Chain A
Amino acid sequence: MAQKKFVVGCFDEEAVLFPAVKQVRAAGYKIKDVYTPFPVHGLDHALGMRETSIHTAGFIYGITGTTTAISAISWIFTKDWPLNIGGKPHFALPAWIPIIFELTVLFAAVGMVLTFLYLCQLAPGVKKHHFHKRATDDLFVMVIECTEKTNADDLKALLSANGAVETDVQVAEEEWWFGTYDKEELAGQVSM
């Protein structure tokens, strides 16, 4: 449980958001993330995020699937329970290729989904802090992580000067956080 302090700035439009991201980064602040209602082209570059490694993970999962399939099938059909199927050799590689392919895809797909959920800290029973409820609707929400040196008021002023329509300071949980959403909070979300 590590509570952290964040400064939140909300923007109406992409066109305002991009220069603001540039200004905030140039001023030396660390942007935790920008929550947008839809995928915004080029925002990941503007935020200076590093390339994801999930495809490398996917490759490793895929290779694991290939290896599992080849070793399992070849052991079963040549050592454990050899059967004569249509007079084909026991080691009948062409017939196995579809299954090897399927297992490769299955391992890669399931593995990548689970990795993605882990990286996003998503799981049943995990509570996520919502910085602004309209982030899923029509608002671009920039979240900046505060350090001991950060002056929240200066930062809020900087955000406002760069076109933020709303700014505030929130304390939120950064790590895995198991809990339930309380009823009022959910009700408030629905009524918005």
Chain B
Amino acid sequence: MASIKDQFEIPGTLKTWSYALIGIGGVALLYGMFTKGFSADEHEQVHFWGTLMYNTIFWTLVCNAAMFFLCFSTMAMAAWMQSFRRIAEAISTLVPVFGFITFAVLMYVVIGHKHHIYHWLDAEAVAKDPILKGKAGFLNPTFFIIWTTLAITLWSYFGYRMRQISREADVAPMDAATAHKFNIRSMWRAGFFLVWFGLTVASTIPWLWLMSIDAHWYSTMYSWYTFASTFVAGMALIALWIIYMKNKGYMELTNSEHLHDVAKFMFAFSIFWTYLWFSQYMLIWYANIPEETIYFKHRVQGPYKPIFFLNLIINFLAPLLILMKRSAKRNFTLVAFMAVLILFGHWIDFYQMVMGSLMKEHVELGWLDFGILGFFVGLMILLVARSLASKPLIAKHHPFLKESIIHQV
């Protein structure tokens, strides 16, 4: 094991690219903030804050999905991911950072009383509206602020605890009794994260943050749909980092066997996403109740039609047909391409989920969206690389590491 390169040194090109992305994106963000975000025109305000919202929520949930992956693998006593667990850990260190941005944006929207984004913030309208009145126990600023604070803090905290226990595996070899204790303790910590994840990402948080934009509308599939979207994007992000690190000559213990399983997750959860997409769509289409179909009106028949179908092609047809073959899942170039495509596809999915409700009349996908996307991508690249460089790339003495090294599909 002495020959393993377990100290990542950040290459200069990575720094250049990420600083460039942050710079260009930051300029677009600030320019958008002052010309649109703080302008007197409500339409412009909604455009800017909506764009910032879907970007920051998307990246927070995607990075959180990396920790979710680690936790359920730990719970299942899975060994195969041990050889690249530090990559998933590094991605999950972004949850506090992106979570803070999300928190700031949401607080600005809620406390700043932007009722054109969240209609339920308008107390007068709620008082006159029996549907919103019925939801007021859940959709009110106090609950929103408390629950958002709790969600982001506890994701960060439980994630931090998981990363801490992983560092213990760097120190010294474990005998059987220590290893057993280590596993049980890891599983407890993973359990806390998973329960909280279920109460937030898989249920309440997408209702609060995203679904409540359409204050009257609701769908029981919505949270699972959001979860599936971010989870498959999270797996794509992990795959991308594995491939990048392999290309730079690190991660010797991770090979096409591991990539095969990561790509299987990308394939399977693309189909899972489609399953939820369809379950939501078909029930609404079949029942044909106006208060439900309103959600799809401007998406299927309105200006969002091209994006709506592009979404299905990128996130369902492409992964289904391209990632189906075994040889495709073991091909680094193809998996890298598909990972970028899936990340972009689910970003577009978030775009239509948020902007499709905020700006129903016309699609304004443009410099602002791509600028803010660039800002988040740059920040993600820089911070993940820094986190990777700050600790050994392999948890050397993890009890399951050997099983991961000889992993075979």
Decide if B128 is an interface residue (CB 8 Å cutoff): no
Known: A41-B408, A42-B408. A94 touches B324 (CB 8 A): no
Decide if A95 is an interface residue (CB 8 Å cutoff): yes
Given A41-B408, A94-B281; 12 other pairs, CB 8 A cutoff: A55-B325, A55-B326, A59-B324, A86-B286, A86-B288, A87-B288, A88-B286, A94-B278, A94-B282, A95-B282, A95-B286, A97-B282
0/1 per residue, B375-409, Cβ < 8 Å to A?
00000000000000000000000000000000010
0/1 per residue, A95-111, Cβ < 8 Å to B?
10110000000000000
Q: Please name all residues of chain A whose beta carbon is closer than 8 Å to the beta carbon of B337 when the two chains form the complex.
A: none
0/1 per residue, A104-133, Cβ < 8 Å to B?
000000000000000000000000000000
| Contact with B278, one of A42, A55, A97 (Cβ below 8 angstroms) | A97
B285 and A94 contact, CB distance less than 8 A: yes
**Number of contacting residues on A, CB 8 A?**
12
Q: Please name all residues of chain A whose beta carbon is closer than 8 Å to the beta carbon of B408 when the two chains form the complex.
A: 41-42
0/1 per residue, A35-64, Cβ < 8 Å to B?
000000110000000010001000100000
Q: Please name all residues of chain B whose beta carbon is closer than 8 Å to the beta carbon of A98 when the two chains form the complex.
A: 282
**Can you pick out 7 interface pairs between chain A and chain B where the beta carbons lie within 8 Å of each other?**
A42-B408, A55-B326, A94-B286, A95-B282, A97-B278, A97-B282, A98-B282
Residue among A42, A51, A94 with max Cβ neighbours from chain B (10 Å): A94
Query: Footprint of B on A, CB under 8 Å?
Result: 41-42, 51, 55, 59, 86-88, 94-95, 97-98
Shortest C-beta distance, B255 to chain A (Å), equals 14
0/1 per residue, B306-337, Cβ < 8 Å to A?
00000000000000000011100000000000
Among residues of B, the one whose C-beta sits closest to the C-beta of A51 is: B326
Q: Please name all residues of chain B whose beta carbon is closer than 8 Å to the beta carbon of A97 when the two chains form the complex.
A: 278, 282
Among residues of A, the one whose C-beta sits closest to the C-beta of B284 is: A94
Expressed in whole angstroms, the Cα–Cα distance for A105 and B282 within the complex equals 20
Q: Please name all residues of chain B whose beta carbon is closer than 8 Å to the beta carbon of A87 when the two chains form the complex.
A: 288
0/1 per residue, B258-299, Cβ < 8 Å to A?
000000000000000000001001100110100000000000
Q: Please name all residues of chain B whose beta carbon is closer than 8 Å to the beta carbon of A41 when the two chains form the complex.
A: 408
Q: Please name all residues of chain B whose beta carbon is closer than 8 Å to the beta carbon of A59 when the two chains form the complex.
A: 324
Shortest C-beta distance, B378 to chain A (Å), equals 40
Q: Please name all residues of chain A whose beta carbon is closer than 8 Å to the beta carbon of B326 when the two chains form the complex.
A: 51, 55
Expressed in whole angstroms, the Cα–Cα distance for A81 and B325 within the complex equals 39
Expressed in whole angstroms, the Cα–Cα distance for A51 and B288 within the complex equals 49
Shortest C-beta distance, B51 to chain A (Å), equals 31
Shortest C-beta distance, A156 to chain B (Å), equals 32
10 tightest A-B contacts by CB? Answer: A94-B282, A94-B285, A41-B408, A97-B278, A42-B408, A95-B286, A94-B281, A97-B282, A59-B324, A55-B326
0/1 per residue, B113-149, Cβ < 8 Å to A?
0000000000000000000000000000000000000
Among residues of A, the one whose C-beta sits closest to the C-beta of B325 is: A55
Shortest C-beta distance, A130 to chain B (Å), equals 29
Q: Please name all residues of chain A whose beta carbon is closer than 8 Å to the beta carbon of B281 when the two chains form the complex.
A: 94
Expressed in whole angstroms, the Cα–Cα distance for A20 and B283 within the complex equals 60
Shortest C-beta distance, B8 to chain A (Å), equals 31
Shortest C-beta distance, A42 to chain B (Å), equals 6
Interface residues of B in 14-34 (CB under 8 A from A): none
Shortest C-beta distance, A51 to chain B (Å), equals 8
Expressed in whole angstroms, the Cα–Cα distance for A86 and B285 within the complex equals 11
Shortest C-beta distance, A166 to chain B (Å), equals 30
Expressed in whole angstroms, the Cα–Cα distance for A97 and B408 within the complex equals 36
Shortest C-beta distance, B313 to chain A (Å), equals 16
Among residues of A, the one whose C-beta sits closest to the C-beta of B275 is: A101
Expressed in whole angstroms, the Cα–Cα distance for A97 and B283 within the complex equals 12
Q: Please name all residues of chain A whose beta carbon is closer than 8 Å to the beta carbon of B288 when the two chains form the complex.
A: 86-87
Shortest C-beta distance, B327 to chain A (Å), equals 8
Q: Please name all residues of chain B whose beta carbon is closer than 8 Å to the beta carbon of A86 when the two chains form the complex.
A: 286, 288
Shortest C-beta distance, A38 to chain B (Å), equals 16
Shortest C-beta distance, A138 to chain B (Å), equals 24
Shortest C-beta distance, A18 to chain B (Å), equals 14
Shortest C-beta distance, B144 to chain A (Å), equals 34
Expressed in whole angstroms, the Cα–Cα distance for A51 and B281 within the complex equals 39
Shortest C-beta distance, A150 to chain B (Å), equals 33
Among residues of B, the one whose C-beta sits closest to the C-beta of A95 is: B286
Shortest C-beta distance, A59 to chain B (Å), equals 7
Shortest C-beta distance, A14 to chain B (Å), equals 14
Expressed in whole angstroms, the Cα–Cα distance for A59 and B326 within the complex equals 13
Shortest C-beta distance, A73 to chain B (Å), equals 15
Expressed in whole angstroms, the Cα–Cα distance for A94 and B281 within the complex equals 8
Expressed in whole angstroms, the Cα–Cα distance for A161 and B42 within the complex equals 86
Shortest C-beta distance, B275 to chain A (Å), equals 9
Q: Please name all residues of chain A whose beta carbon is closer than 8 Å to the beta carbon of B286 when the two chains form the complex.
A: 86, 88, 94-95
Expressed in whole angstroms, the Cα–Cα distance for A137 and B286 within the complex equals 55
Expressed in whole angstroms, the Cα–Cα distance for A121 and B278 within the complex equals 41
Expressed in whole angstroms, the Cα–Cα distance for A86 and B287 within the complex equals 9
Expressed in whole angstroms, the Cα–Cα distance for A98 and B326 within the complex equals 26
Shortest C-beta distance, B25 to chain A (Å), equals 39
Expressed in whole angstroms, the Cα–Cα distance for A98 and B408 within the complex equals 35
Shortest C-beta distance, A102 to chain B (Å), equals 13
